[in-house]
Amino acid sequence: MIQDESIFTNRLIQDFNQCFGHTPEFMVSAPGRVNLIGEHTDYNDGFVFPVAIDKYLHIAASQRSDREVHLYALDVEEECVFNLDSIRESNTPPWSNYLKGVAHFLQEQVLQGSEHTLNGITAVITGNVPIGAGLSSSAALEVASTLAFLGGCGLEIPHSSVNTNNGIQVLECSPLEVASICQRAENEFAGVNCGIMDPTISLLGKADHALFLDCRSLDYEHIPLNLTDILIVICNTNVKRELAASEYNKRRSECENGVKIIQQWLPSITSLRDISVEDFKKYEDKLPEITQKRCSYVVEENTRVLKAVSALKTNDVETFGTLMNASHEGLRDDYEVSCDELDLLTEIAKNTEGVFGARMTGAGFGGCTVNLVYQDRVDEFQNKVNNEYPKHTGIEPQIYICNAGDGARIKWISDN
């Protein structure tokens, strides 16, 4: 699951023991993600195509005999204690709201009326998913927390365990129901209006595969990436995404407004997902200019995702890369959620031999680009980014070389 897993596991066990004076009963790991193509389509009932990256949020935990939750976040050296009988939102510390929300909705949505009750847990949290980079560290925390709370009452969800433990009961709860809990926690406790994609890929990630997800039906398919000599290289602008939240809400409203207008001619549609490129061309001049640009991007992006999936199924990575490049152009010119720094990184990528696809990923106005790079050209690409990006921006970038990793797992620790 992670490089030198046994070394990492032993270190985290030691950290837990140092904090709480005993050995944890289990460890949970949940990955971050990057979306290869299909941006801002999720809230338009469209298609997305993310991968789980091999960077993980980890929780080592043990069951308590009471209903208290004792947490310690190693990377920020902060602790939090709350009671499962009186869960309240709090900004002290802010990250605790993700766990509180998960615990609240687990009790309300999954366990209510069942024979199971949440126990308190004692837990240590750490990880290497970059925070604030748009790689879904929050979803990784929510997913890991869900499995940790379930583990605290001796439960797993199907396919979540990396080892067999006969004393553990499998809770018949689908990954999509778990993803829904995580989404609600982020929406209603952390105050972030995220979609279903991030927790879904963190749960359902599969090594060397991307997840083709229909955000309306929630049907999904694991698609082999076949990237034998190609790496996923993520470049972080290190620009804070200060406009992302407010502009996200504006884009969402503009898309909804476009649907209302076009419904005069296509009354059966309920979202931009329902409009083909051909039909949109017939009615685009009925829309205000800004609305037209926003809707045009989404309609075309949904088509690009479908073409991208088809390309990978036939091992046509060159076409896939061309579609990634077109996706960025649409995000920059029509959806207008890019920024100078993101555009610079994609321009550097476009002018580097061996990079066949590059685009911004995430909400925009900062964050990261995702690039598909031939393995023997990765060093050259890194050097160009590290030299040219600071020269034009005065900002040092961060570069993460990733593979498509597995989804969230729980590992039970033997006392032997």
Q: What angle do CA 332, 338, 343 make, to 5 degrees?
A: 80
Contacts of 118 (CB under 8 A, 6+ apart): 67, 84, 103, 106, 107, 111, 149, 152, 153
DSSP bridge pairs for 56: 31
103 and 89 Cβ atoms separated by less than 8 Å: no
Nearest to residue 34, comparing CAs of 133, 126, 141, 144? 133
Would residue 198 show up in a list of annotated catalytic residues for this protein? yes
Rounded to whole angstroms, what are the CA distances from 80 to 95, 147, 331? Answer: 9, 19, 39
Cβ atoms of 372 and 22 closer than 8 Å: no
Contact 269, 259 (CB under 8 A): yes
Distance of CA 399 to the CA centre of its chain: 18
Give me the catalytic one of 42, 45, 54, 198.
198
CB 410 within 8 A of CB 168: no
Annotated catalytic residues are 198
